[in-house]
A and B are shown apart, each in its own frame.
Chain A
Amino acid sequence: MTDFSRDDLTDTMSSFEAAVSAPHVQIPAIAPRVVLLALDGTNQDPAALALSVAVANRAGAAEMHLTYAYEGPSEPAREHYLAERAGELSARAGGLTTTHSRPHVPAGAAPPRSFHQILELATQRNCDLIVMPAPYLDDYVQLGTTSTGTNLDMLLRHRRTPLLVVREAYPAIERCLDHLIVPLNLVTKRGTDVLAWAFRLAVPGSATVHLVATADTQGIAAVAPAAGGAVRDHDIDELELAGLAHGPAAGLVAAAQRRAADLNVACRVSVRTGQPLEQLLAFTRQQERSLILTGCPESCSATGYLQVQALIRESPDPVMVI
């Protein structure tokens, strides 16, 4: 109150730097029309169905299409399963038009791989969002692999539309839409599109859009000795390191807060310190249920792409990749 620290000064300076240097960006208006839900026959399907309906309704989509992609010729049991789920979807779809089908396979031709079927169907029906279940398994995470399974890997690589991956099948999964988490470190060039989806899904008065920025101090600490110095706490400007003091992240925060004010949606910026993915997952654990929305580079060798892959693999909460 009558004293100050250098940290206080640095934080305040960084805040104002953000105001001065934030580029003026606009969040585009999006109007998703068709949602494609690709079932996989596992016990994830009911949760994926529930979340797809909630997402489609909140996004104002008009149509929801259901499919069950599997390799090999048509099997009556699987067709029956798809029809049953379609019936379930119709019962809870509200104003949505619901359809279901399998991709058309020309007679005599070898059935394509599952991910090809999904991508093909998404193109045929002009889908704006693909929803797909992918079981969350602790032991799978512990394998340390970067893969999330062939189909999901390939969908992530070749998709042309946003992809919503449903992980742990917890009850009342649609409540995850109350906490929409946007990791600012991962949104890359798709930041405004990510925010467009976040605000499209946020219900005024009940949902909160969390913008999470992480200052990777561990990375700095690791390289500091090589640079001939140690890092002291007061040398670290969290806002600066988290990217909030300058450039795109500052512009995104400004755009998000402006949109939040217009829509009367709660929007909170949280700055954390440490390894970005760990911090993001720790943050999501603090919320009861949440949906993570992120951008993803197109190149599968880009660091950001690998981070998104790791996020999908390690997150028990659903992840939407824009």
Chain B
Amino acid sequence: MFAWNALFAPVLSAASAAAPAASTPGRPVLPMVVIGAILVATFAAIAFEVYHKSLAALLGAIVAVVAALSLGVYHAAPGERAYNAVHNFIAHDLGVIGVIVGTSILVEIAGGSGLFHFIAVRLVKLTRGRPSVLLPAIMAATIGFVTFLTIAPGVLIMSSLVLVITKALEDRPTPYIMAVAIGANSGALMTFASGIPTLMIGTAARIPYVHFLAVSTPLALLSAMIAFAVIRFAYRRDLVVTGDPVAREAKVAAFDEWALVKDRSIFYRCAAILGLTIIGFAFAQQLGVGLDFIALTGGTLALLFSGFNVEDAIRKVKWPIILFFVGLFILIGTVQETGLLNVLANQITAIAGDSMFLALLIIIPFVFITAGIVDNIPVAATMIPIVRNMIDAGFAPEPLWWSLIAACNLGGNPTPVGSIAAVIALHALAHERGIRIGWGEYLKVGGLITLLQIPLVIIYMEFYRRLGLFPEL
């Protein structure tokens, strides 16, 4: 630590001189300013894709740790190194990483059987290719796949399906791609493990899995209805049958879903393991284990019984996102150590007073907007300690945690970079069909949906709060 301080001494003394007096009792301002700036710079690098987001998060974490060690931010217990704090940040959120690794393996193996693709094509055949039925079917299927497969695999399957069938039917793919990109964020709200922000907040708040069915699932469906109505209206001119309707129906009927099946037996085994894993999630609390244990057990069983090559399946785990989380957790943990997030929480508490409604009016739109600009995962990571501080200050936990879950997921809707769902769907559209949806077009649809979903979430939370419908945490 001394070496670091010596190294940075000239910079620190200059910065200390320039910094205002500490505004939080017992907390120096300089670390807040320096490490807060590192946080903002990292988020900007993620938002504007200056670097790959994993690299940006790791780089931000390294710079933040160096600064924190230099400024003496970490508090070491007697006989311990200050640096141990970094390990504690990662250890604190190890559960989230465990869930991601376990479900990645399970979903990869189950998806490899080709039966999710089979289900998707069969669903399209049921619509007979009629746009009036196809659009809601695509949205419903997206929500369904995201609910059980998580957001990235669900969106990959549905985006690919949309691009292939619209090409075959000579339809414009944009309305369907928008339905996938935006519907997926509603799907991420459905259960504990459907979306990463949901998982992070649910883990931090220790929300039992079954509570999601009571609070989050109805909101997910309501938000999807709003999104559907707006997309249906915005693209009404594109959602008409082109060409001969009879020939179109015949073309759809000729799609052969059996060409997608790689192995039925693997599917049945994985479907059983996936089902058991979901049941395990629901009863994890009663079983006295974490969701990470359930997810890793599911992943291990899939490796054991699927006949898949173990190394191939493990290689498919999205390691970049794991590194992204490691960097993010260290960065946010370090910022939290400076007390900056306490300051922000105190500011919100000061404005809201003891009014929960006012607090919701501040948090929900704020999270919606920032999640739309940055990426909803870092926003969730930043907001978790802030909400925790507000709860410590006397606010009821349930409305705050549920609002955060809703706003972080739906907050990805207004912009093309707000959520991984939009990034995947729009990339697929541009790469495979050469169609680019600009910020303007996306904002018109996504922005309108967000403008309607913000009041929906506020009213929904207030309604649940006033009627005492939130299950107690």
Smallest CB–CB gap between B329 and chain A, Å?
Answer: 14
Residues of chain B within 8 A (CB-CB) of A268 are 262-263, 265-266, 307
Q: Which of A205-257 contact B (CB under 8 A)?
A: 244, 250-251, 253-255, 257
Find out whether the CB atom of B318 lies under 8 angstroms from the CB atom of A2. yes
Determine if A139 is an interface residue (Cβ-Cβ < 8 Å).
Answer: no
For chain B residues 95-142, which have a beta carbon within 8 Å of chain A?
100, 103-104, 107, 114, 117, 120-121
Is there an interface contact between B121 and A16, defined as CB atoms closer than 8 Å? yes
Q: Do the beta carbons of B152 and A2 come within 8 Å of each other?
A: yes
CB B196 to nearest CB in A, in angstroms, measures 5
Task: Look across to chain B and name the residue whose beta carbon is closest to the beta carbon of A270.
Answer: B262
B318/A250 in contact, CB under 8 A = no
Q: Judging by beta carbons under 8 Å apart, are A257 and B261 in contact? A: yes
Chain B residue numbers with a CB within 8 Å of A253 are: 258-259, 261
Interface-central residue, B159, B256, B261, by most chain A CB under 10 Å? B256
Give the residues in chain B near A257, CB-CB below 8 Å: 258-259, 261, 264
Task: Collect the chain B residues with CB atoms within 8 Å of residue A255's CB.
Answer: 258
Q: Mark B41-63, 1 if CB is under 8 A from A, else 0.
A: 00000000000000000000000
- Decide if A9 touches B262 in the complex (CB within 8 Å): no
Chain B interface, DSSP helix/strand/loop, else mixed: helix
- Of the residues B104, B114, B168, B264, contact of A15 by C-beta under 8 Å: B114
Please state if A22 and B259 are interface contacts (CB–CB under 8 Å): yes
* Min distance, Cβ A139 to any Cβ of chain B, angstroms: 33
Q: Which residues of A contact B264 (CB under 8 A)?
A: 257, 260-261, 266-267
- Contact between A19 and B256 (Cβ–Cβ < 8 Å)? yes
B161 contacts A by Cβ under 8 Å: yes
Kindly state the separation between the CA atoms of A6 and B432 in the bound complex, as whole angstroms.
Answer: 11
- Complex: chain A residue closest to B254, CB-CB: A24
Known: A255-B258, A257-B258. A4 touches B161 (CB 8 A): no
* Minimum C-beta distance from B195 to chain A (A): 8
Q: A19-B117, A20-B164, A20-B165 are in contact. Are A4 and B152 (CB under 8 A)?
A: yes
Q: B160 contacts A15, CB within 8 Å? A: yes
Q: Which residues of A contact B156 (CB under 8 A)?
A: 4, 8-9, 12
Judging by beta carbons under 8 Å apart, are A2 and B196 in contact? yes
Contact in complex: B256, A254 (CB < 8 Å): yes
Most chain B CB within a 10 A radius of its CB, from A6, A15, A257: A15
Interface members, chain A 263-294 (any B CB < 8 Å): 266-269
Give the one of A12, A13, A255, A266 with max B CB within 10 A: A12
Other-chain residue from B260, B261, B377 in contact with A16 (beta carbon distance below 8 A): B260
Establish whether residues B121 and A267, one from each chain, have CB atoms under 8 Å apart when the complex forms: no
* Chain B CB within 8 A of A180 CB: no
Kindly provide the distance from the CB of B312 to the nearest chain A CB, expressed in whole angstroms.
11
Query: Measured between C-beta atoms, what is the minimum distance from A8 to chain B in Å?
Result: 6
Smallest beta-carbon distance A220→chain B, Å: 21
Could you tell me which B residues sit within 8 Å of A by CB distance? 100, 103-104, 107, 114, 117, 120-121, 150-153, 156-157, 159-161, 163-165, 168, 196, 254-266, 307, 317-318, 320-321, 324, 377, 420, 424, 427-428, 431-432
Enumerate 29 A-B pairs (CB-CB under 8 Å) in ascending A order: A1-B104, A1-B151, A1-B152, A1-B318, A2-B152, A3-B318, A3-B320, A4-B156, A4-B420, A9-B424, A9-B428, A12-B156, A13-B164, A16-B160, A16-B161, A16-B164, A16-B165, A20-B165, A24-B256, A250-B259, A253-B261, A254-B259, A255-B258, A257-B264, A258-B258, A260-B264, A266-B265, A267-B264, A268-B263
